[in-house]
Amino acid sequence: MSGRTILNLRFGLPPDHDAELPERLRRLLETITPRVEMTGPDTAVLDLTGALPYWKRDARGLTAVVQLRALAHFGLHTSAGVAPNRMLAAMACALAPLGRRTVIDDSPASITAFLRPRPVRELPGIGAKATATLAEYGLHTVADVADVPQFTLQRLLGARAGRALHEHALGRDTTIVDPTPTPASITSTATNSTPPSTDAPCSPSPTTSAPVSATPARSPAA
């Protein structure tokens, strides 16, 4: 277990949104945790690890607070993915429709149940060419890839790509959340991250939450 809690958040921005909106969203998120990285105008990654004890909430509860604040302050619905690392959080977020969240608990059983059935193309860094190469050898899912020795993947894709794919297929990602301020150009160029709870515990499979209420709520006290 990593001991970390990473939130990947995607905002449902209108196409004609204010160019300053991403910066205002970042400032809102920083009221929850200082460890906020805007990876695109509509996407943010937050490290909630230190914020959980401060807010006295678990990952699901604090994610709900973040989503409600975005809705109350800006009228924006969000998709959220929560997991022990950035890669898993981004994959979980991609599966959540606006107004919902996908949570992967920090346990080997939860990570395995979420990851192994996924198509291999959903792993970061896997393009169409690599996907086609893997398919030629019958490797279609993350489980297929995870069960293949690393040296075999390196022979198919090259040393670096094969090693990275092997790590990702096992659910490993050591990329940190970098709170360095976002370059100004990000407000004009749309870029997504690397890229199921009725809110019940994700064991053995992930869960997708109930819809976030459209009624603005008062921000909870710390």
Query: Could you list the pLDDT tens digit for every one of the 222 residues in the chain?
Result: 678 999 999 999 999 988 999 999 999 999 999 999 999 999 999 999 999 999 999 999 999 999 999 999 999 999 999 999 999 999 999 999 999 999 999 999 999 999 999 999 999 989 999 999 999 999 999 999 999 999 999 999 999 999 999 999 999 999 999 987 655 444 444 434 443 333 333 333 454 554 444 333 343 433
CA 43 to chain CA mean position, Å: 10
pTM of the model: 0.80
